[in-house]
Structure 1
Amino acid sequence: MDYSIAKHALTNKTILVTGAGDGIGKQAALSFAEHGAQVLLLGRTVTKLEQTYDEIIQAGGVQPAIIPLDMMGATKQHYVDMAETIEGQYGKLDGVLHNAGLLGILSQFDQIEEDTFDEVMQVNVKAQFLMTQALLPIIKKADKGRIIFTSSTVGHHGRALWGSYAISKFATEGMMQLLADELSNSTVRVNAINPGATRTTMRASAYPAEDAEQLKTPLDIMPLYLYLISEQSQDLNGLCIDAQPK
């Protein structure tokens, strides 16, 4: 399938990107802005978000907003307050890319520490659940709202030693499918992306001996992200699409 959109397809769209300070999240924010979107940059490290902000401005993009938030410690009220602030400033939210995630520690199932499991599930599942719940009313106010989750190959088929991360991605895909089904009669579309092997910090920590130069860059896989966040993806709902199909 040809995943391409017009140069200004995201003009007048307000899009929230989590984990926007690094890797795929940063590139998605830059690419969304390049296509006309006003991007809300969410992350826990303000200096990294400021770098993304500066690059968008330097490229002539619409002035983005920075939302400093640590998903590990954020409560339901934090997300409710955030949604109210977004609604007050922008009136609606056209899309959210749930990109932020925690790898945890790769280990055998019987060696997964409870603390590690809790941390991964908090960031990868519960925080995204609470955030989506809070944002749904303002996403529904958009003409064609978009919600994109991030899965993984190990969220399709369980793989030995991938521990908490794999479990969290199975949960992510289930949450996406459930939400997509509930919203199927609306104009909101809910899908997930499996980025595949991509040149990111998380990938390097999982595969330290791998030659990163052989991997696709975040920019290489952006056509799918742009397509799913745009109005052109109206016919796609409840799918997890591989950005690098074999």
Structure 2
Amino acid sequence: MKYSEYQPRPDLLKDRIILITGAGDGIGRAAAISYALHGATVVLHGRTLNKLEVIYDEIESLGAPQPAILPLQLSSASPQDYELLVDTLDKQFGRLDGILHNAGILGERTELANYPIEVWDDVMAVNLRAPFLLTQELLPLLHKSEHASVVFASSGVGREARERWGAYSVSKIAVEAVNQIFAKENVYPNVRFNCINPGATRTAMRAKAYPEEDPKTLATPEMIMPAYLYLMGDDSLNMNGQSIDAQD
């Protein structure tokens, strides 16, 4: 099917509890609003609290279910931080129906020969360690859902190693593997795992990666939401361990 042409029903995510990382702007913000407008209670995660508060107010003003805000510093979160996160979600909601692992950082566009190790560590912490650990810690809550969906953010450079993309490319290739391994191990049969590659999208990260590019030529985050809705809703129940392109 063409994911870009998917037409979700208005109540696709009714009564679902969905955690979105990196919800402060770009694709994460668009997904939070889109999921909420389709009935979900969204749990907003991000680094900048005031950005999340603005989105919180925007979702409420649209008449969507009241969201929640969950600050967590992904790059430096300790096991205790994750325990507190799980405990908070459990007490407030009792379960989790989905995670969109959208948070990510670009790092540097330079050769591996010159790649700064501290930047490498930061990229790996946010792009790889955090989605793995967050998924692992939240699996018991996902298990309480009738059927839960975990969506990892991939990239064109996650399908094929590309020069001068350094840690970002390595982290996204590894995320694709994490996705497939979770899916194949199938420890919780009610939880499915898939990757999404947003493609060229008008975001701050894209502008940093391609400073010469005219952003007006790119799809907006809102334009690629059909694929994000598809993977989070029941119409993708038979998909597990797949990786799709949002703009196909």
- For the 8 Å contact 1:184–1:237, the answer to whether it is kept is no
Aligned to 2:119: 116
**Other structure's SS at 1:146 match:** strand
Q: 2:239 aligns with which of 214, 221, 236?
A: 236
> What corresponds to 1:18 in structure 2?
21
Structure 2 residue 65 is the aligned partner of structure 1 residue 65: no
Report the counterpart of residue 204 of structure 1 in structure 2: 207
Secondary structure of the residue aligned to 2:36 is helix
Structure 1 window deviating more from structure 2 (13-22 vs 183-192): it is 183-192
Q: CA shift at 1:3, angstroms?
A: 2.4
State the distance in 1 between where 2:166 and 2:31 align. Answer: 27
Q: TM-score, normalised by structure 2?
A: 0.96
Name the structure 2 match of 1:140.
143
Distance in 2, matches of 1:184 and 1:193, equals 22
How far did residue 130 of structure 1 move? 1.2
The correspondence for 1:151, drawn from 154, 161, 174, is: 154
1:103 aligns with 2:106: yes
Give the aligned residue type for 1:22: D
Root mean square deviation, CA, Å: 1.1
The list of structure 1 runs, each at least 4 consecutive aligned residues, that deviate by more than 2 angstroms after superposition, is none
2:6 and 2:87 map into 1 onto residues whose CA distance is 33
Tell me if structure 1 keeps the 8 A contact 2:158–2:172: yes
Q: Distance in 2 between matches of 1:237 and 1:144?
A: 12
How big is the shift at 1:4?
Answer: 2.6
Please point out which of 179, 182, 197 is paired with 1:179. Answer: 182
Task: Determine if the alignment matches structure 1 residue 51 to structure 2 residue 54.
Answer: yes
Mapped to 2, the partners of 1:24 and 1:123 lie a distance apart of: 16
Contact 1:76–1:131, Cα closer than 8 Å, also in 2: no
Residue in structure 2 matched with residue 195 of structure 1 by the alignment: 198
Letter in 2 for 1:59: L
Partner of 1:92: 95
Q: What fraction of aligned residue pairs are identical, expressed as a percent?
A: 49
Q: Is the 8 A contact 1:204 1:212 kept in 2?
A: yes
Aligned to 2:12: 9
Query: Are residues 200 and 107 of structure 1, via their aligned partners in 2, closer, same or farther at CA, if it must alter by over 3 Å?
Result: same
Number of equivalenced pairs: 245
The aligned counterpart of 1:223 is 226
Q: CA deviation at 1:83?
A: 1.0
Counterpart CA distance in 2 for 1:81 and 1:171 is 27
* Structure 1 residue 76, shift from structure 2 partner: 2.2
Q: CA deviation at 1:148?
A: 0.2
Question: How many angstroms apart in 2 are the aligned matches of 1:200 and 1:43?
Answer: 16
8 A contact 1:76–1:130 mirrored in 2: no
Deviation at 1:184, TM superposition (A): 7.5
Q: 1:85 to 1:184 in 2, by over 3 A?
A: closer
